[in-house]
Every structure is written in C-alpha cells, then in structure tokens.
C-alpha cells in the first residue's frame, strides 16, 4: 500500500482499538505509526497490541512503526477528608508533607522535590491548571500559598510547577520497568515524558542501549528553554501542546510549536505535533472546523507527523478520526501554497558531503523529470537528510535493516522498503532502486529516478554518490560500467 501523502499519522491504541480488525482498519485508513501509551493498560495488554501490529505488518508487506510513550513521574496532591474542597480566590492554602487528610486550609503534597525547588513567587497549578496558587512562603516541607484562581480541589489531582526546574528524574521506577519491557518487546521509538534537561534524555538513552530511538516530549517550560541541548541528544521530538498549554499561557503555545518544528526540521530529526488535535471526535463523527485548521497548520509548518491520542485509543470513532486526518493531510499537500510555505521555511546549514548530495538530489529532481529519490540507508540518516529537504517528489528509502525501516515510518515523505544488502556493486543498488520505484507505483520503465548511496556499502554515514538512472533495467545494464 502506497500512501498518497508525506506527513505521517500516529494513532494511539487503547480499549477502543485493541483487536486485529480495528488496528488493521486504522492502518488502512492511514496510520503509519502506532503509539502504546504506558500510562494505561498492563504489559500483557500492550504485548497483545504489539503482536497484532507485527502480524498486520507481515500481512500487508509494509513496515509499521511502534512508539511506546512512557508515563513520567506524576505529581499529585493527597486525599481530602470530604473528598473535595472549594478554594476561593484570595484564600490562604498550605501544601505540606503531612500525610493526614486535607481540608479547606491544607493538603498533603507528597513530593519533597517540589518544596526543594520552590521560591516565594512560584506558581502551583492543580487539576490541569484550573486552580492556580502563588507561593508566599515556603520551606523544605511546606508551601504557604494564596489562591489566585479558585475552584474545586479534590483527591489526588495532578500538580504542575511551571516556573522552576524540579530536581526530579524524567524516569520513575515504573518508567524504568516500562522502558525495559518496551525494549524487549521490540518497539522502535521511546517517547520520554517530563523532560527538563538534556541529562534526562541521556539517562533514557543509556538504559535503552540502542534498542529503540529516543523521542523527547516537550511539555514543560524548562524543556522549551533547554530545547537546543535536548534536541542535540534526542532522535526525535514531540510537541505536547496539552501540557505546554497548562504550564504556559495558551497564547504562547502556537509560536513555540512553530519554532520547535522548524528547529527539529533543520536538524533532520522527526517532529510530531500532538495533543487535542481532533478532540471532539472522541464523541463525534465530525471534527470542528477549528480542529481541522489546527491539523492543517501543523502540516503547513512541515511537521513530520501529527498524532491522535484518546480519539483513536478510547473514542467512539477511531477509524473516522484517522480518515479525517488523512483527508486533511492530502488536501493541504495538494494546495500550491503548501509547497510555497515548505520551500520558504527550508533553512538548512549544509556542511558535509552528505548534506550536499541530498540537496543536489532534491534540486535535480525538481528541475528535471524525475519520479522519485531513492536512497540506500543503513541507519536511516541519509533518508532523514533527504526528508529534511522536503522534496516535491516521493522518497524511497531502501534498507536491509528491519529496525531502520520501522523507525523511518515516522519521517516525513519516506516510503520504506526492505532491500537485500548491497555488497559491492553500485549498479545492483541502482537496479534494486528502479525495481522498488516500479513495484510500489512511483515510476514506470519510461521514467527516471535519482539514486543516492554510500561507498563503501553498508557503512552508516558514508553518503557520497548521486546517480540519475532510468527505471528500465535494460538501459541500466547497457549504459552502466561494471
């Protein structure tokens, strides 16, 4: 099956999407990568979903990416004697380490790390930011606050601390167990929650030991401030607008999204735009016009992927949600303005031979009658560099490594194909590329393709050859030297 679009779709699996029939339907509707949310469901449930994905992959003959999303540490208040209390604006309220049940004046906040980081003037947000408090006085085991936005506070509601870097690791004990489980399962990507600094990513990378690529979720102001360092040590990025919109003023999120997407694109690292993209489709078969516009904006910005969360995991219309995203993407990418926007936002600092090769491949493809750019890639780096150029022709990535093909399912415009390992003859690489272009409907025998590869073969990071070739193998053998 060949996708008729470049942006990829990530669909979260859950109670509404756990059978072979439903997951297959989501794939056929347009999902390229499936997300396993480790915040919900047991390891046995996640393994069943993973096994179904791999069976579908075998049945359809096309690589499918799997992303395991780690929960991250959850900061929550304790319990209240009455279950809940009303906090009025201007009222005094204390958080402390006392495990006693709370009342209208105080509650336990069982996270000493928060108290260690707070200073007078810091903000505390409760229940997704619906309640806001300002710290007046604090110590190692308490924080006396003034309620700035009131509301109902109830048992074990989540707490956000937006304006300080918390001395907390991004990986809880649960996350460490989930990470090892996911790596043994064979997932392609690990999404890391609660990232605040590059060291958080490095810790996850050390535990993963190369078994999965690391994708950092940008959901905290500290991560936005440290983004350059986080991006440098990550394999990919997720712009998690939901949590960002809690900890930052909501009007600041769109420009942050645009900036993060462009920066990740320039680094040739895939970037997902996520959270509340088609939220109303959890309960409605039709999205709102604003949601459609939101998805379209992310695509116009050049995001590698857009993601569905509860819409496909727990909603009433999972297939319709994927279909809607697929239709929006196709519509945007057919718009002539889309190419204008993509080309105007292409800002790449080229400094290597590989950078020059892929830039030349795009320019040749766009200036002449070329049907596709075919690249041989061991690690996926070459395909990612070609995708960074955002060419107007399809990208076919040929690799003998199953893991590479699956990881590239998240990368813009890349159609992944399993290929036999090329030992020594570039001519056979060209022949294989021509076969793939024809077999998957990207070209006919009358067409030409651009082929990029590296010599010596099968060595990551050696892209140094560019060849314009016919798709007719007879012409390849007739014109190419041994």
Q: Quick check: is 76 catalytic?
A: yes
Element (H, E) at 451: strand 448-454
Cβ atoms within 10 Å, residue 418: 15
Q: Which of 74, 76, 176, 259 is an active site residue?
A: 76
CA dist 37 and 18 (Å) reads 12
Instruction: Give the strand pairing for 370-376 and 189-192.
Output: unpaired
Q: Which of 5, 8, 35, 265 is an active site residue?
A: 35
Q: Which of 5, 12, 132, 275 is an active site residue?
A: 275
Give 179-206 as a DSSP string: HHHHHHHT-SEEEE-S--SHHHHHHHHH
* Contacting residues for 478 by C-beta, under 8 A, at least 6 apart: none
List helix spans (H) across 219-335: 221-225, 227-233, 241-247, 253-266, 289-300, 310-313, 318-334
Instruction: Give the strand pairing for 123-126 and 131-139.
Output: antiparallel
Q: Quick check: is 35 catalytic?
A: yes
Question: Do residues 16 and 314 touch, judged by C-beta distance below 8 A?
Answer: yes
CA dist 156 and 394 (Å) reads 49
Q: Which of 8, 94, 157, 217 is an active site residue?
A: 217
Distance of CA 240 to the CA centre of its chain: 9
Question: Do residues 419 and 400 touch, judged by C-beta distance below 8 A?
Answer: yes
Catalytic residue set: 35, 76, 217, 275
């Amino acid at each position: 099956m060949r996708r008729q679009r470049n942006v990829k779709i990530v669909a979260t699996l859950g109670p509404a999407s756990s059978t072979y029939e439903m997951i297959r339907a989501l794939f056929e509707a347009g999902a390229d990568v499936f997300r396993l949310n480790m915040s919900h469901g047991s390891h046995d449930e996640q393994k069943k979903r993973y096994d179904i994905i791999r069976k579908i992959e075998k049945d359809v003959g096309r690589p499918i990416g799997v992303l395991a999303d780690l929960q991250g540490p959850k900061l929550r208040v304790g319990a209240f004697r009455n279950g809940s209390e009303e906090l009025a604006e201007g009222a005094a309220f204390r958080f402390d380490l006392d495990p006693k049940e709370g009342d209208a004046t105080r509650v336990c906040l069982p996270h000493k790390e928060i108290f260690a980081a707070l200073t007078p003037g810091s903000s505390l947000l409760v229940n997704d930011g619906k309640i806001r408090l300002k710290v007046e006085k604090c110590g190692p085991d308490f924080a006396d606050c003034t309620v700035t936005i009131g509301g109902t506070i109830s048992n074990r509601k989540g707490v956000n601390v937006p304006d300080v870097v918390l001395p907390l690791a991004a990986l809880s004990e649960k996350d460490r167990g989930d990470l090892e489980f996911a790596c043994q399962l064979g997932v392609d990507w690990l999404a890391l929650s609660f990232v605040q600094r590059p060291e958080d990513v490095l810790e996850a990378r050390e535990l993963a030991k190369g078994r999965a690529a690391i994708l950092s979720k940008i959901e905290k102001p500290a991560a936005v401030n440290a983004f350059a360092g986080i991006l440098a040590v990550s394999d990919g990025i997720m712009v998690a607008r939901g949590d960002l919109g809690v900890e930052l003023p909501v009007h600041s999120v769109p420009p942050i999204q645009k900036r993060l997407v462009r920066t990740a694109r320039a680094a040739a690292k895939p970037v997902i735009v996520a959270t509340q993209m088609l939220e109303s489709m959890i309960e409605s078969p039709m999205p709102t016009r604003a949601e459609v516009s939101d998805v379209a904006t992310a695509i116009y910005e050049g995001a590698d992927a857009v993601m569905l969360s509860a819409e496909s995991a727990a909603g009433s219309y999972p297939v319709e949600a994927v279909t809607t995203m697929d239709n929006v993407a196709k519509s945007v990418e057919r718009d002539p303005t889309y190419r204008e926007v993509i080309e105007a936002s292409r800002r790449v600092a080229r400094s290597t031979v590989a950078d020059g090769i892929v830039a030349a491949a795009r320019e040749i493809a766009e200036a002449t009658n070329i049907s596709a750019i075919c690249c041989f890639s061991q690690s996926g780096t070459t395909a990612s560099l070609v995708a960074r150029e955002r060419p107007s022709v399809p990208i076919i990535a040929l690799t003998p490594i199953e893991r590479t093909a699956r990881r590239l399912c998240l990368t813009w415009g890349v159609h992944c194909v399993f290929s036999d390992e090329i030992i020594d003859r570039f001519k056979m690489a060209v022949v294989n590329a021509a076969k793939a272009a024809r077999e998957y409907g990207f070209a006919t025998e009358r067409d030409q393709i651009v082929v990029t590869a590296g010599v010596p073969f099968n060595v990551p990071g050696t892209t140094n050859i560019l060849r314009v070739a016919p798709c007719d193998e007879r012409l390849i053998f007739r014109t190419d030297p041994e």
